[in-house]
Amino acid sequence: MNFLNHISFVFVICLMTTCRPLVITSLDADLFDETLKQTPDPQLIDVRTYSEFAQGYLAGAILMDIRKPATFDSLIHQLDRSRPVFVYCRLGRRSMDAAKILEKKKFTQVYNLGGGIIEWTEKGKEVVTE
C-alpha cells in the first residue's frame, strides 16, 4: 500500500469510527491526586451512596449517587461541560459507569479514580469524615 492509499484508508476508518480524542482517563490514586491538584477549578464527583459518602470522602467532592438515575441525571445538568470532571466510587466500577454517561452527555475531559476510594485510603491519602 503506498502512502496516499494508506492516508485514504486511515481517513475512511476515522469516518467509520468517528475518530475523536479520548474523553475518559482512568488513573491510579497517585496520578488522580496529582492531576486533581494541578487542575484549576476541577469538578470532583463522588458517585457512591449517601451512607458510603458519610464514612469518608475526598475534600471538595459533590455527592451524586449513580444508583439514583433521575437525581444523577438532574445533577449532571448543573456541571460545566467545558471543565474537567473527576469521578470516584468505592472500587472504580460505578465511577467508570458515571464517566461513560458523562462522555455521552458531551463532557470533554473526565478522570476516573480506577481503584476507587479503597485504593485512595490504602495509599494513605486524606479523606474527610463527618
Predicted TM-score (pTM) of the model is 0.83
Residues 104, 77, 95, 16, Cα dihedral to 10°: 10
Mind listing the pLDDT tens digit of every residue in the chain (130 residues)?
444 443 333 344 444 455 556 799 999 999 999 999 999 999 999 999 999 999 999 999 999 999 999 999 999 999 999 999 999 999 999 999 999 999 999 999 999 999 999 999 999 999 999 7
What's the pLDDT score for residue 31?
98
Domains and CATH numbers, the chain: 21-122 (3.40.250.10)
Q: How far apart are CA 89 and CA 115, in angstroms?
A: 9
